[in-house]
Each structure stands twice: as C-alpha cells, then as structure tokens.
Structure 1
Amino acid sequence: MSDFPSDILFDIFLRLPIKSLLRFRCVSPFWRNIIDDPCLAYMHRTRFAEESYKVLLLDHPKHKPDVSFREDHAGGFLKASLSLVTKFATLKAYFFEGCCNGLVCFTKSCDDSLVFLFNPLRQEVLALQPWPYSTAPTSDPPLRKRKYGLGFDCSKNTYKIVRVFENQRNSTLCAEIFTLGLSSSSSSWRSAIGKGPDHCRLFGRPIFACGALYWLSIATPDDHNNNNILEGNKIVSFDISKEEFGLISTPKSFLSCHLLDLRGDLAVVDCSSDRQIEIWVLKEYGKKKWVKEYEIGLKAPIGAVDNTRIEVIGIWEEGEILVRYAGSFLSYDPKTDGLRYLHISGFSHHDDTEVLCHKGTLLSLSRFQEELS
C-alpha cells in the first residue's frame, strides 16, 4: 500500500465518512499520516457540510476520571464523558465554554486560565499554554469577568480561542487570542489590537456563526450617564478574521432569550413564554435585518412547573429542531409543524449535562500538541 499514490488516497479518503477513516488509521503508518493531515480534515468538513448533526451529551462523571465515548445507534445520540486526565491536570470539574466545527472548548472551574480543547470522536484533549497575566492577579491589564469563545478563521484555516474581559480602568471590553496555527511560533496567547464597546456585560456562552463569535449583552446598572448605554438586549460580536468587535441590536426586547447557530446563521431564541418559542434569524448582516423564521407551540409535559428551562439546541436529523423543555426533549418538524417527544437512554433531566447538536471532525489535536510541547 505504500506504493499507492498518496494524492489518490487523499481523494478517496475525502469521500469516506469519519468513522471509517478513524478505523483505517490502523492499516499502516502511511495511511495514518494522510488521515491525520489537517488539510484532509478541513476539506473533508467542507465536502460533508450538509451531513446531518447528531446530539452530543457532555456528561459530568463524579468518580473515575477518564475520556470515554459511546454511540447510541438507535437514536442518533453521542455521549462523551468529560472528566479528563491529561499530563497537565486532572479535570474533576470543568466549565463548557463553546464549540466550533466539531471541537469543544472548556476551562477548569477553579482556574479559568487553564483552557482545553476536546475532540469527542478522536477522544483527544489539548491543553493550551496559560496566558502570563492569568498567573499574576496584580499584573497589567487587570482581568475580570472573562468569557471564552472558539472560532475558525477560514481565510487562514486556523482555530482561534478568544478570551474576552472587561478592563477595570475604563470598563472597555478587551480580548486575548490564542491561534492554533501550523507552527509553534503562532500557537500562543496575544492581546487583540481592537477594543470593544464600553460598559457591556456578557451573558452565556458565545455562538460562532458566519465567521464571528456572538455574546448576549446588557448595560451595567451604573451606565445611566454613559453615552454608550445599551438599551434593551444587544449582541456583542467579535470577527475572527479581522479580530474586531462589533455591536448588533436584537429584533426586539426579550425577557428571556439565548443565541443559536441555525444552519450557520446567527439566531435569537425568544423563550419569554412557556407556551411558545420564537426564533429570529439574522439574514442580512450588513443591514442587520432580522426575520422571524419559526414559531413553535409548546404543550407542557405532565409534571412541568412554571419557569421551566427552555432551550433550543439546534438543527439535527432531517432538518428538525431539537428543543430541551421541562427536563424532556422535543423534536420540531418545520414541514409538518409537529412535535414529538424523544427518549435518550442514560440521560437524567435532573442533571446538568450539556447537550449539543454536534457534527464530528477528523481534525487531530495531537498534531497541535507537538507544536506546543
């Protein structure tokens, strides 16, 4: 097989599903090197862009630290156990920060300067080098209220981890960036040049869509004399390629809402009512034009209480929308305007398991580990 042209093998591998390719890594070192090539991972994801998403459950085991992964073939669900052991630390408690292109980003709960990437399909973990300021609380600039996001710069085929914080001196949002590049010199933390809007308080995890990260934001209570005061809901954006902040108004004021990646577009989910969900999608980014694309009527399950948790997870099989509601899962079919209940084995509605609509990636984090070592 080593005499077989590598370019032909590369083209064949582009047409195969990820599960098959991960098995074929065992054929020979020659095949493994081709399958682990980051270029194959990037091109493979583009070719399979229309592939259906599965549901990924990020579990919180309390005892044995390990990296485990299993697949439930019956319902299109994947489950990963994220109590991880690395040579840097044992993560018995972590905080899920976001995901992008099949990779999951999280931090250690007791020290958010420790940032990790996780590829569930490969069961690989990558620990990033800490930012120097994070180990010295009195250093300049002072950091507080840090938020993280993971995005992909398609112009350079690189992943960027963005850490956003508020400068205590002038209440301006600032950012630090870790570029996961193709050389050790590019894989390090650095400060972003651009500054963000003043007096913004970011809420929740960011959504990566259309080349940018987005956070929900409202004005802080002491901003009534500031000219940049935010009225109602706003969205703070960070362009991954340009590394610039921006500010977007939501289509209306929401009592309860969250952001969503809907087929690659930014969406706002209105959860103000426990009987109906509205999903607004940003269609024209230049003109900031919002369109109400979905209205989902809800019927509360037996035993549901008021103010129950409502969360739209995303698009999954056959274009249906997955909804987490009152400890249950609903699948909404836009074609029929119908809802059906889903059962996920091993899932308890009382736990804090993270649920994602996830499309796996072939990208090997071990390649980047070599850069950081």
Structure 2
Amino acid sequence: MHRLARSLLLATLPVGLSLSGAAIAKEVELPNTMAWTAYGTGSSGYAQAVAIGGMLQSEYGTSVRILPGDNDVSRMTPLKQGRVDLCACGIASYYGAEGVMMFAHPDWGPQPLRVITTSTASFGLSLAVAGDLDVETPADLKGKRVAYIRGDDALNKGTEAYLAFGGLTWDDVERVDYPGYGRSFDGIIAGDVDASFTTTVTPPAQQLASSPRGISWPVLDPNDTEAWERMRAIAPYFRPHEVTSGAGGISADNPLPSASYPYPIVVANQDLDDKVAYGLIKALQEHHDDYKDAAPGAKGYALEHQDLTWVIPFHDAVVDYYQEIDVWTEEMQVHQDRLVKRQNLLLDTWEQFMSGEVPEEEDAFREAWMTARAEALTEAGFDPIFE
C-alpha cells in the first residue's frame, strides 16, 4: 500500500484502532514471469529459489527464471541494471546497501535495496577450528594461526567479528593468507593454519571433522552482552543462534550456542512494484508448507525466523503485509524509519560525492569515498561501522 493510501485510510479509522488491527487483506497479484539471481546451481540458495519458483508456478501461474551467479557482483549487477526483479543474495547485499568493500567503487556505491524475506536455518556461521587445540571460546584463539581469504570480504569480516567477540583483533593472531576458501581448509588439515570462517554444514567443515585434527566450534555465550556488542560493532548483522546442524556432532540433541545471519537474503530495489513485493511476501508466508521441505534451509522462511529489526530496511509493501497480519510493532517501525533515513543519507552522500572531483586511482577513490561516507553518517548521528 502506498504511503498516501495508508494516510487516508488511517484518517477514516475509529480512534484507537491501528492499521495493523484493521486487518485489511489484499489479494496476491504477481506477474506471469519473474527473474531472480541466486548463488550457483550447486548451492542451497539456488535450490531454495527453485523451490519457491515451483510454488509460485503451481499456486499463481508465475514462471520464475533463476540466473546463477558465481560471485556477489555477478549476482547483484542484473538487479542494479533492472534486468531481474530479485536477488537471493548473501551478506554482500548489506555491503551493497552500505556502499562498502567491493561496492566502494565508481561503478557501484550504496544501493537502494529493500528486503523481501530472509531464511535463517539450523546451521550457524562460525570459525571452524582444528579440534586438537582446545579452543572453547573465541578468546582462546589468541596466538593461533587464522586464515585470511584474499578477495573475500564477507568471510574475513566474519572472522574479524569472531575475534572481536573474544576481545581480539588480527594483531592478536597469526594471519595466514590463502587464495581461496577451500584452500584454507586444506591448510588446516595439513597443519599449516588453525581456523577458517565457514558455515557449520559446509563440505570442507565435514572433511576437517573427519581428518586426524578433527573440528571444534567456539561457543558464544548468548548472555555475554559486552562480547556481543564488540561483535556487532564489527558486523551488526550477526545474531545469537542455537545451531542444531553441523560437522563435529552438532545436532538438535547436541546444539551449539553460536551465531548466524540470514542466507539467502532476498532483496529487491526500493522501486519494485508494491503489488509484486506484497504478493511475494504473502505467498511465501501463506504457502510456506508447500516449499519448506523442497530444499535444504527452506524452513528458515517461516515467520518465526524473520528478524524484523535487522540491518537492511524492508520494502514498504512488506511492511504493509506485516501490519496486516498484526505482527508489526511501533518499535519495528521506528527501526525501519531509521534504516530508511540511513539509506537515503547514503544515497544522497554518494550523489554529492560523485558530482565533485573524485580520484581516478581505485584505492584513492575508495579512501576518499569511505571518508566522505563516515563523515556524513557521523554528522547525522549514525555509526559508520565501516571506516
């Protein structure tokens, strides 16, 4: 529902009755065809997109074409160009919304992204540690050899966040650089490094668990407020999570207190048609039973797994839906409004920055942009997070 329509409707409601209490249901209206980008064909993200596409075809006659992308840029470029409706992305969608890391580039900058839905499943995201080191918490990593993956900002940020949970930085460990994620696990098995960031269910973690060194996962105390504050200062998208599946014997009967963030994160541009955004979230929630078992991780789209105060704003029509089913609170709206204000500030700052004299050299450009970005956010009362 458009903002004006909501305002006019509110004016007609009896005093004391909120829009959420009015339960104004709308029909699902979806186009005949849609295009999404997703992770590669062997990924759980791709399998989930296929499962959702099957549900949309069966229930609404909507054909979904899924374009696999090998990396974050290749997944998000078609969305930026308007060639696809949605991206079933990873945490790089947050970096794109913030205009940092690989998006602190003349071709990118902050993107006007809005969340449609996310999946938070039973696995966790953590540092996999060689099991022969008696590492019980992130603080125990001090002095250990920790993998740094060249060219993979998301993995390295995750590692940095785990170190921060333990009160550590890269200066407190021995950094060992690797050209790729898989190679770092070969390094752990070979005894050349001790830890690398991953999901608890990934094949390399399973391989490490079956190796002579074995595997362990640092425990994150969900009640250690100061540790979580340090972690979120580095990577605010992490949340406490009881992990119930993973290498090394993690199960529902042997859960691990750890951390996670959604994957995939289904995002659209803010100008995605309201009817499409509303139709998608309503279909995904009302027909969850029809696809939840069709792909690993698809159960994570259930309403109880949706974090409604996360780090990227929701599409306006998604907010409308959550108001309609009476789960949207005033606190959520305050959070949403602040995220939208931050996004608009970033977009305006980028436009002003690009209209001036900008360095041609890539590193100098990134440094200048990050400085301008941090100054604008700080002046407006926001934490830059990335500097």
Given the two structures, how large is their TM-score scaled by the length of structure 2?
0.26
Higher strand share: 1
Higher RCO (C-alpha under 8 Å, 6+ residues apart): 2
